[in-house]
Structure 1
Amino acid sequence: MQRITCFQAWLQGWLQATARRNAMDDYRCIQEIGVGAHATVNLAVALSCDHVIALKMIPLSTADPCTP
């Protein structure tokens, strides 16, 4: 749970920094996204649909602060 909480905080920051109102068609609410440095690990992320999550894979290998 600690990792999910950390990732949620990072994801919210990423969304605030990259969300574009004119590209809403490229986004939708999802509950699972890939996380991992060298492999993709599916995490069930408890996010409400109030948040907009990118459909395209977010490059987390270097950006995810939760990955040791």
Structure 2
Amino acid sequence: MQMEQDPWQVVRRALESGSPPDGQTIAALELLAERLEQIKRAYPSLAEVGFSPDVEALFSRLGHVHA
């Protein structure tokens, strides 16, 4: 999916507003999760890197859990 805005900005705005995630936020989260997994596969030494607790909480509101 093509993002019109930087996915980090979309997620930051969602965290700041505290409102339920909209379609753009969900797409941004999915894109960032995919990118993080690609990085972890390419660089095993980064396997323990993850999202901040706030972003993880946003994922959990969507029913997703990311390590």
Structure-2-length-normalised TM-score = 0.39
User: Which is strand-richer, 1 or 2?
Assistant: 1
User: Which is helix-richer, 1 or 2?
Assistant: 2
